[in-house]
Chains A and B, each alone.
Chain A
Amino acid sequence: MKSFAYSRVSSNEQAIEAARGRGASFLAGGTNLVDLMKYRVEQPDSLIDINHLALAEIKQAEGGGVSIGAMARNSLVANHPLVRTSYPLLSQALLSGASPQLRNMASTGGNLMQRTRCYYFTDVAFSACNKRNPGSGCSAIEGYNRIHAILGQTDKGPTSGETCIAVHPSDMCVAMAALGAKVEVEGRNGKRTIPFSEFHRLPGDDPYRDTTLREGELITAVTLPPARFAKNAFYLKARDRNSYAFALVSVAAGLEMEGSTIRSAGLAMGGVAHKPWRVPEAEQALAGKTASDETFAHAADILLRGAHGYEHNRFKIELAKQCVIRALSVAAQGTSEVA
């Protein structure tokens, strides 16, 4: 690991001021950052420890939603009464990710900031990675790309400085995307609120950028809108192991039901793109319809429009479609039980 200067801050202002330094990173749970530092993928010059900031509160927000502090640990969020009763989709997604130890450490803000698990990104022995080493090319596109993107990727060949087929690895973020959350941030120029769908970005022509967060900005909270999917929600995660593995495909499905009619829907996929994959048109296609496999399949087709696979991940296109149908039908039944 490269040496770094360690400092501890006790207010948001101090944290933002300390982040002025070149090569500064905030240290929250550290589960991803410290790991990547050991691999020399991340090499910050200074770590600003924000674990002592008063940002761990989970509380009712104005207007009926819930505000989750950026330092609230994944395990506490998943088990908070407000989340369990009103946002089961988020509780399920959080408990599908990582291990109990990691969930105890990992923070809400840190989960938003976690990096891709693309093997070629995490191993510096592969020199070609546009995310780690901008302009160097992409080792994944012709490599072992089982866990890689099928939607929204930039594919201009292995030597292009723009190519990237990495996926965002989070479960939590997929649920937050489906719930229509907002990210609260604070920087030198004040506070701003970022709609969840605009927080993470597609690789475009600069795949080294994961998010739209500006330099030195601190995530302070994630706000969930008033609950619509407390009764009909299901997070489905398809993976190579039954526990403690990243998603090949995951689906966060929330339905607002009136009898057998869908009033409104929240729908997002994980493991398929550089960001949680949400297409508002797919949600609109569900609204007002009777819950049925045909309706769900139609929404899945919209969600997967333009999907393109590679040698080792083509199977994910059909897998994703079936997962969407399954997640929506379990959600519609008003249970989280899997037969």
Chain B
Amino acid sequence: MSSHINKSSPGEPAAEVSEALQDGLGQPACQAHSGEAPCNALQAQLDSESSEEFEQLERHGLLSEISRRRFIQASSALAASFAFGMPSPAEAQETTQTGPVTLKVNGLPRTLSLDPRTSLLDALRENMNLTGTKKGCDHGQCGACTVLVDGRRVNSCLTLAFAAEGAEITTIEGLAKTSDPKTIEDLSSVQAAFLIEDGYQCGYCTPGQIISATAAIAEHQKGELSIVSWQSGQHDRPELTDEEIRERMSGNICRCGAYPNIVAAVRAAAKGPRA
């Protein structure tokens, strides 16, 4: 359930909301997505969610007069324009306005109602209950949040959820061979290698390490280079040496310092499934 009512600042002039929304910067998401996003269906869904929320809040006596007015203004404006975000700069600071976004994670599409500021990381953890992906620095420096977007590893903390719409997102939860892995055989080769080689200590960075290693191995198999490839004179199908592994995994920090075993796990996984 969206939380745009609760987060609105009480002192804000309600009349500006609908005007501001209609004045939004041109391109509502569903227009830009011509033919893709079922605008009417989403609108109906949002309307029904909104009125449900309204009823619930009223039942519990949680609607103040201001929020009641704001709610009505905001939901009608939403229905009218579908522009999300806060187009009025003066009052933009603390208000929250949500919009629909469909994310396809581990093969399953799900439509969420999110503030445009929401990172893909927060959408996964807070809205989709996929807490395997970890929040470390939240600034693209530690790699704990690494996920695959269309098969390429990225930092989900610096990816806006809205910008990931339409992509195939893979998280640690989607890596195993089965949806409910029971034994090591059910895990991906990289997951299994981390277990066998003891490639972690506290485990917090491990989902990011495993996703990153999965991509690193695939990149190497495609013949992609690292700076170590250039510096070692192997700029045509470089061998995956330990030095290469360290360079290719440098976007993932392990605060416990489990690097030797992480390198061993990547090395083992790259050699393919155990005989």
To the question of whether A and B form a pair in one complex, the answer is: yes
Q: Which residues of chain A have a CB within 8 Å of any CB of chain B?
A: 1-10, 14, 17-18, 21-24, 27, 30-31, 34-35, 38, 45-49, 51-52, 75, 78-79, 84, 88, 91-92, 95-96, 98-102, 104-105, 243-244, 335-338
Interface centre among B33, B86, B232 (most CB of A within 10 A): B86
Per-residue CB contact flags for chain B residues 209-227 toward chain A (1 = under 8 Å, else 0) read 0001001100100011111
**Chain B residues, Cβ within 8 Å of A27:** 160, 163
Minimum C-beta distance from B234 to chain A (A): 9
With both chains docked as a complex, state the minimum distance between the C-beta of A27 and any C-beta of chain B, in angstroms: 6
Query: Chain B's interface: helix, strand, loop or mixed, by majority?
Result: loop
Is the Cβ of A101 less than 8 Å from the Cβ of B140? Answer: yes
B230:A3 contact, CB within 8 angstroms? no
Which residues of chain B from 187 to 204 have any CB-CB distance to chain A below 8 Å in the complex?
none
CB within 8 Å for A6 and B250 given contacts A34-B158, A336-B231: no
Most buried by A among B24, B115, B117, B247: B117
Q: List the B side residues contacting A96 at CB < 8 Å.
A: 227
Main secondary structure of the interface of A (DSSP, over half): mixed
Q: Which of B26, B96, B99 has the largest number of chain A CB atoms within 10 A?
A: B26
Give the chain A neighbours of B219 by CB distance below 8 A: 100
Instruction: Flag if A7 contacts B163 (CB, 8 Å).
Output: no
Interface size class of B (residues with CB under 8 A): 35 or more
* A residues near B83, Cβ cutoff 8 Å: 5, 7
Q: With a CB–CB cut-off of 8 A, which chain A residues contact B92?
A: 2-4, 45
B91 to chain A: closest residue by CB: A3
- Identify which of B94, B158, B162, B230 contacts A336 (C-beta below 8 A): B230
Q: A-B contact count, CB below 8 Å?
A: 167
How many Å from the CB of B180 to the closest CB on chain A? 28
Cross-chain contact of A337 among B162, B232, B248 (Cβ < 8 A): B232
Q: Pick the contact of B212 from A6, A84, A101 — CB < 8 Å?
A: A101
Query: Are the C-beta atoms of B215 and A30 separated by less than 8 Å?
Result: no
- Write the chain B residue with the least CB distance to A104: B152
Q: How far is the CA of A96 from the CA of B225 in the complex (A)?
A: 11
Alpha-carbon distance between A8 and B87 when the two chains are bound, in angstroms: 15
Residues of the A chain whose Cβ atoms lie less than 8 Å from the Cβ of B56:
none
A335 touches B233 (CB 8 A): yes
Q: Are A22 and B230 in contact, CB atoms less than 8 angstroms apart?
A: no
Interface string of B148-175 (1 = CB under 8 A from A): 0000111100111011000000000000
Please measure, in the bound complex, the distance between the C-alpha atom of A51 and the C-alpha atom of B231, giving whole angstroms: 32
